[in-house]
Chains A and B, each alone.
Chain A
Amino acid sequence: MKRILLSYLLISFSVSLPAQQNKLVKALLPDHGTLQFAGGIGFLSGGIGYDSKNKRIQTDLLYGYVPEKLGGVTIHCITGKFTWIAISGRMNNNIRVDWLSTGILINYVFGKQYFFLSPDKYPLKYYGVPTAAHVGIFAGGGLRYKKAGIYYELGTTDRDLASYVGNIKAIPFFDIVNIGVGAKYFF
């Protein structure tokens, strides 16, 4: 009885929604969910994202967390991420290999020890860059099976890159590379 009532309510609700509104709801629903390990945006980061129709362009909004035990301090942060699948090939009906992906991300870390806008205690332009945000660039690849996918990324940050460029002799390129791996589920 309960089930019938629920189905009736659901049907009448969806019927009563104008078609346009339905479309809007559909467009607002995320295209995939993401869970990532490392990559400079958290021990674990998770969130949702939207894709282009062919899934060659994928965006993510991720919340990241580092426990004190692993990171020395507890870190909470958010990340906006843009990935472009540059080279991709279908193996068969179910399997697709993303040979090369690349992208950019911006990360914001929460906490009063970081600043985005220069605090009042400093004169104008005292420190050149905000400590609460970093930009990352990355390249990697992945594998998709039906609606699930896994990926890896080799990335670096704006600050790492600045250190490297200013110290070509002393800093090995490998030292500025960080690794991230993750999984996506496409709805």
Chain B
Amino acid sequence: MYRILPVMTAILLFSCKNIMFHPEEVRPNAKNLNAINLQKLQSLTPKASFKFIMTGDTQEFYDELEDFVAHVNSLNDISFVLLNGDLVEFGWNNEYNWVADRLAKLKVPYIATIGNHDMLANGREMYKLMFGQENFVFNYGTSRFICLNTNSRETAFDGSIPDMNWLSDQLKDTTPQNIFILSHVPPFSDDFNRSIEYNFRVLLRSNLRTRLSLHGHEHKYHVEQPYGDGLEYLVAGSGEQRNYALITVDGSNYSLEEKFY
């Protein structure tokens, strides 16, 4: 019997990491990641011609995510990485922490938007603590990135997602040379609030500086002009496909490439 007591004591003491009160608890091992990474990004001197990566749907693909991080770290001309959401599968604590642990190894700044899976259970709370606001903007040089939640189905198409008033306010500013939109669900998806699809795409086009709309969700790389209004929509990158979009911006021109790792 005296053999079991030290074992039990050891088990109790060996790691607080292995104390899980409940899978749905919200105990992020990193906080305000978007703010921290944006600070990192702003401290760099922006290049007139720059490259960035957009990928996402990393949900449950940790092996792939580690390979992705190693791959991006081996490239030396990337300014930053954008993640278009669905970082996790069920919105729960362990997944978020596993993803954050791996993303932390990226040498370049990374910014993440929220996907529909990230909103499950207490996911919204977790995203808020770990990454920050669901709708936010940032600048890189003369380019502006408008990042927002477009996962309308998660709130049963109640009109709250996407926040059209907020988006409209952001698009009033015509000072940036380029505007890029980043969100998870593209407006031509059944998971987008179809009753405002028309207003949404007209709104994006209302500012002629809007160059490109970046999305995920569909786990299939494709570039198209679904509305024939001159605005391109890029859907790219998911864990299991080991792909991402490489976007090169030069002045007010951009070029797109699908890359694999």
Chain A residues with CB under 8 Å of chain B are: 38-43, 64, 66, 70-73, 75, 77, 91, 95, 97, 99, 107, 109, 113-114, 119-123, 127, 129, 131, 134, 141, 143, 150, 152, 154, 157, 159-160, 162-163, 166-171, 174-179, 181
Q: Are B60 and A163 in touch, CB under 8 angstroms?
A: yes
Task: Tally chain B residues at the interface, Cβ within 8 Å.
Answer: 46
**B12 partner residues in chain A, CB cutoff 8 A:** 152, 179, 181
Residue of A nearest to B121 (CB): A131
B5, B26, B61, B190: the one within 8 Å of A73 (CB)? B26
Q: List 10 A-B contacts (CB under 8 A).
A: A70-B21, A71-B22, A72-B125, A73-B24, A119-B156, A127-B117, A131-B120, A166-B61, A166-B63, A181-B8
Q: Mark B86-119, 1 if CB is under 8 A from A, else 0.
A: 0000111111001000100000000000000100
A-B pair count, CB < 8 Å, reads 133
A70, A91, A129, A134: the one within 8 Å of B1 (CB)? A91
B27, B63, B90: the one within 8 Å of A72 (CB)? B27
A177 to B18, CA, bound (A): 6
Q: Is B180 an interface residue (CB 8 A)?
A: no
Q: Are A163 and B21 in touch, CB under 8 angstroms?
A: no
A40, A77, A120, A159: the one within 8 Å of B90 (CB)? A159
- Indicate whether A41 sits within 8 Å of B63 (C-beta atoms), given known contacts A122-B153, A171-B98: no
A134 to B21, CA, bound (A): 13
Q: Are A152 and B27 in touch, CB under 8 angstroms?
A: no
Q: Is B37 an interface residue (CB 8 A)?
A: no
